Amino acid sequence: MTVLTKQPPGAPTSAAAGGTPRIRPSRRRKQRSGYLFLLPWFLGMLFTVIPFFASLYLAFTDYNLFTEPNFVGLANFQAMFEDPRLIQSLKVTFIYTFVSVPISLAVALLVALVLNRGLQGLSIYRSVYYLPSLLGGSVAIVMLWRYIFGNDGIVNGFLGIFGIQGPAWVTDPQFSLSTLIVLNVWTFGSPMVIFLAGLRQVPGMYYEAASIDGASKWRQFRSITLPLISPIIFFNLIMQLIGSFQTFTQGYVMSGGTGGPADSTLFYNLYLYQKGFTEFEMGYASAMAWLLLMIIAIFTAINFIASKFWVFYDN
Amino acid sequence: MKKTANTPISRRLVLGAAMVAAGLTISACGGGGATSSGSGSGGNVELNFVFWGDANRAKMTEAALRIFEKKNPGITVKTEYQDSAPYADKLATRFAGGNPPDVLAMANRSLLEYAQRGTLADLKSFPELNLDKVPETTLSRGEVDGKLYGLATGVTTIGMVVNKTITDQAGVTIPDDKTWSWEDYAKFATEVTQKTGGKVYGAGYDVATETGPIMLARQRGEDFYTKDNKLGVSEKTIEDWFQYSVDLRKAGGYPPAGFFEQIGGSPAQSYLAKGTVASQIIPINNFRGYNEAVEGEVVLLRIPGETSGERRGYSADPTMLWSIAAKSKHPKEAAKLVDFLTNDAEGAAEVLTQRGVPINPEVADSITPKLSADDKTFVDLMAAIQEEDLPPAYVYPKGASVVADTLKQLTTEVEFGRISPADAAKTFMEKSNAAINK
């Protein structure tokens, strides 16, 4: 299970914020000890790289976990086109991603802006808002979510006060995915913290100059804040996009591993897991993994190309 | 950035592909270091024994195993247990990794998935395992092509449990279960809902569990799974199974769509225990658990339709099956353990009917005096059913777990009115046949 939970937070923000500074020769020694510290990661990489290539091979086989794999060429990839559940899983994953990522980024930015106004006890607020994103992918929180949105849960209890009969959020296929989208939006903490760091970098003099010129707050936000933090937005966008394409735990726990009700929460990775471990079609599952890699690569590439038109690097 | 895009992907693959990598290395050195324990004289053999269930089942099993260890010096048994869903996942990875347990509990629907991939040993090949007392009909439920891959841990079947305290208070009489039809059950359930003012729904059986339609098919003279391991149920029967729940819901006897949220779960977590439904279908070896979990008196009844159909729907089914991994490093000792679990009265006295009625009739008789009243109710019903003229039942085919998943998915679609029972039945046939014939 732990292997399948959410990936750790990605690369340092500086990389996204426009190229690492060149390292001077005098820093060689420091660099060396840096690599030393990275050693465990390199060793760990072995456990990633080997399976990585193994799965590439298996994608072209009929491997079933028990008997020796036979090479089948592109059969797995061909079968995908005729697999209605695969299409369904793509649909679920795309809806989830394209609805929840923009919303959670907007919420994250909004909260970061509010927190950036120099509130007292900022660190407490920051922690409080950050906490859910540490927990969001965990089994316990998804279980809690099931209860909150359950038929007798808090949400329907609240709606009941106003005489509204709430729907079956978890068991009705019409609502189950939106319940998970809300969960994902709620875990806006990690992009928020990154936004907050980015907002702190915006020099105050720009705002001073702008306000002397009579620019409204909204104008300042649009013309100063947004352009200056656009690399951060870009970074968060990419990370959130990749993360949500790979959603697994939420769907698995919410539906008890089935992707139900009626495949409405059949995330791509959940289906991949079912194929590999309940139907024992590991060759097909490997092929699916590579398809997902390609999909993510394409969307990342599109974003990188598009970023030229809206991301502003101030250096 | 590109790099961060790649790594998590391979993370996803870790489970799958790591198994491959690990599997290759482990199987490559299989037969090497790990077997050392068995060779020395007086050396200790450690068997790995896995099953699914709750803490109570584990406790009873452990007590029996201590007796086994006492009777078989030099063998120790290390157990692991989980809930059924994670158990199934873990079992698959262990087999794939070339590190299967020696003795394991197998679900009916998974047996052939494993057996037909050559991962299980033929239990008939072990002289240590005495099968003389086991009825042929029981053996046949773990047999493929003359080889025995799974031996029933005990037999059970499904039954209807009704909370009699609720029906008494509502003033509804429970029909005679020996002769009641599905129509009688529907009428009964609807009446319960009406007379409790909608506080309790009369029926709360799980439409999505395959044992229900299997029973209905058998009553209609169809074999859900046939002798030659195919799908034998007709589209009409599946449609009727769905339609029945739709009609019952419309009449008020069955809860509205979305009512059931709990997936699986113990008797204590059941809706019967919560008191929101008055009846439920259960594997009857769990009767005691339900009666203890429910406030009030629970009665155990037969499934409706047994006398109104073409033939009896009942069969004595393996609760689960014992299997031995083909790659077990201690097959002899493993066979001894399965023999103990099947034929030893002292061991059975600890486990009682946890995994169904023991398949060795002598063992079953020997534990009868030790049973609690509820367990005795179960055993008596099981015995009464077995005295009747029951049609044969067969091993679940490969792909049966996909059939089960398909049924679950379509049940929800029907529940929320997204497809008609007729369309659901059609899809069920297509998907199930595809999975079985693959």
pLDDT by residue, tens only, chain A of 315 residues: 334 444 444 444 444 444 455 656 667 777 888 888 888 888 888 888 888 888 999 999 999 887 888 999 999 999 999 898 999 999 999 999 999 999 999 999 998 998 888 777 778 888 888 887 777 667 888 888 888 888 888 888 888 888 888 888 888 888 999 999 998 888 888 889 899 889 988 888 888 999 898 888 899 899 889 998 998 999 999 989 998 998 898 888 888 778 878 889 999 999 999 898 888 889 999 999 999 999 999 999 999 998 888 888 765
Report how far apart, in Å, the C-alpha atoms of B23 and of each of A50, B97, B200 are: 13, 4, 52
Per CB-CB distance under 8 Å, the chain B contacts of A173 are 412-413, 416, 418
Per CB-CB distance under 8 Å, the chain A contacts of B8 are 7, 242-243, 246
pLDDT of residue A14: 42
Per CB-CB distance under 8 Å, the chain A contacts of B428 are none
Per CB-CB distance under 8 Å, the chain B contacts of A296 are 5, 9
| Contact map slice: A 28-67 vs B, CB within 8 A | 47-52, 54-55, 58, 63-67
More confident residue, B84 or A212: A212
Residue among A63, A168, A238 minimizing CB distance to B257: A168
Q: What is the mean pLDDT of residues B25-39?
A: 33
pLDDT at B210 exceeding the cut of 80? yes
Could you give the CA distance from residue B100 to residue B45 in angstroms, rounded to a whole number? 16
| B432 token code pair | 């199930």
Cβ contacts of B184-189, under 8 Å, gap ≥ 24: B184/B304, B185/B160, B185/B304, B186/B244, B186/B247, B186/B248, B186/B251, B186/B253, B188/B253, B189/B248, B189/B253, B189/B254, B189/B278, B189/B279
Residue among B117, B261, B401 minimizing CB distance to A150: B261
Could you give the CA distance from residue B337 to residue B51 in angstroms, rounded to a whole number? 14
CA within 13 Å, CB half, A84: 8
- Distance of residue A64 Cα from the nearest chain B Cα, in angstroms: 8
Q: Which tens digit of pLDDT belongs to each residue from B223-236?
A: 999 999 999 999 99
Tell if the CB–CB gap between A260 and B10 is shorter than 8 Å. no
Task: Specify the DSSP class assigned to residue B401.
Answer: H
pLDDT of residue B263: 54
Name the residue in chain B with its Cα closest to that of A234.
B1
B20 and chain A: CB distance < 8 Å anywhere? yes
Residue among A172, A256, A297 minimizing CB distance to B5: A297
Q: How many domains are contained in chain B?
A: 2
| Contact map slice: B 94-113 vs A, CB within 8 A | 95-96, 113
A223 and chain B: CB distance < 8 Å anywhere? no
Residue among B8, B14, B258 minimizing CB distance to A246: B8
* Same structural domain, B97 and B177: no
In a domain, B333, yes or no: yes
Report how far apart, in Å, the C-alpha atoms of B385 and of each of A27, B215, B312, B381 are: 84, 14, 10, 6
A263 and chain B: CB distance < 8 Å anywhere? yes
Q: Is the dihedral of CA A270, A272, A273, A274 positive or negative?
A: positive
Report how far apart, in Å, the C-alpha atoms of B330 and of each of B37, B61, B111, B337 are: 10, 20, 21, 11
Name the residue in chain B with its Cα closest to that of A19.
B1
More confident residue, B133 or A126: B133
* Same structural domain, B413 and B278: yes
B22 and chain A: CB distance < 8 Å anywhere? no
In a domain, B3, yes or no: no
Using an 8 Å Cβ cutoff, are A194 and A224 in contact? no
In a domain, B140, yes or no: yes
Rg from Cα positions in chain A = 23
Residue among B12, B89, B416 minimizing CB distance to A246: B12
Q: Considering the entire predicted model, what is its pTM?
A: 0.80
In sequence order, the β-bridge partners of residue B143 are B148
* Same structural domain, B146 and B180: no
Q: Which tens digit of pLDDT belongs to each residue from B155-164?
A: 999 999 999 9
A248 and chain B: CB distance < 8 Å anywhere? yes
B310 and chain A: CB distance < 8 Å anywhere? no
In a domain, B391, yes or no: no
Tell if the CB–CB gap between A168 and B19 is shorter than 8 Å. no
pLDDT of residue B328: 94
* Same structural domain, B421 and B299: yes
Tell if the CB–CB gap between B408 and A246 is shorter than 8 Å. no
pLDDT of residue A250: 86
Residue among B5, B85, B413 minimizing CB distance to A262: B413
* DSSP one-letter string for chain A: -GGGSPPPP-S-HHHHTT-PPPPPGGGHHHHHHHHHHHHHHHHHHHHHHHHHHHHHHHTTB---SSS---B-TTHHHHHHHT-HHHHHHHHHHHHHHHHHHHHHHHHHHHHHHHHTTT-TTHHHHHHHHHHHHHHTTSHHHHHHHHHHTSTTSHHHHHHHHTT-----TTTSTTTHHHHHHHHHHHTTHHHHHHHHHHHHHS-HHHHHHHHHTT--HHHHIIIIIHHHHHHHHHHHHHHHHHHHHT--HHHHHHTTTS--STTTT--HHHHHHHHHHTS--HHHHHHHHHHHHHHHHHHHHHHHHHHHHH-----
* Same structural domain, B44 and B134: yes
Q: Which tens digit of pLDDT belongs to each residue from B257-315?
A: 989 886 556 788 899 999 999 999 999 999 999 999 998 899 999 999 999 889 999 99
Tell if the CB–CB gap between A51 and B17 is shorter than 8 Å. yes
Domain that holds residue B367: 11-154+319-383
pLDDT of residue B97: 82
* Residues A9-21: b if buried by 16+ CB within 10 A, e if exposed: ebeebeebbeeee
Using an 8 Å Cβ cutoff, are A283 and A61 in contact? yes
Could you give the CA distance from residue B267 to residue B273 in angstroms, rounded to a whole number? 7
In a domain, B173, yes or no: yes
Residue among B5, B119, B402 minimizing CB distance to A66: B119
| A10 token code pair | 């990605």
Tell if the CB–CB gap between A277 and B114 is shorter than 8 Å. no
* Same structural domain, B85 and B119: yes
Chains A–B, number of C-beta pairs less than 8 Å apart: 165
* Same structural domain, B413 and B366: no
Which phi and psi angles does B151 have, rounded to 5°? -115, 125
Question: Which residues, including other chains, have CB under 8 Å from residue A91's CB and lie 6 or more apart?
Answer: none
* Same structural domain, B282 and B329: no
- Distance of residue A120 Cα from the nearest chain B Cα, in angstroms: 35
* Same structural domain, B227 and B110: no
Q: Is the dihedral of CA A50, A56, A60, A64 positive or negative?
A: positive
Asked whether the bond before A261 is cis by omega within 30 degrees of 0, the reply is yes
In a domain, B134, yes or no: yes
* Same structural domain, B37 and B87: yes
CB atoms within 10 A of CB A176: 27
Tell if the CB–CB gap between B9 and A246 is shorter than 8 Å. yes
* Same structural domain, B258 and B360: no
A79 and chain B: CB distance < 8 Å anywhere? no
pLDDT at B333 exceeding the cut of 90? yes
* Same structural domain, B118 and B49: yes
Torsion on CA atoms A253, A258, A263, A267, rounded to nearest 10: 50
What CATH number did the domain enclosing B174 receive?
3.40.190.10
CA A227 to chain centre: 23
Per CB-CB distance under 8 Å, the chain B contacts of A282 are 16, 19-20, 96
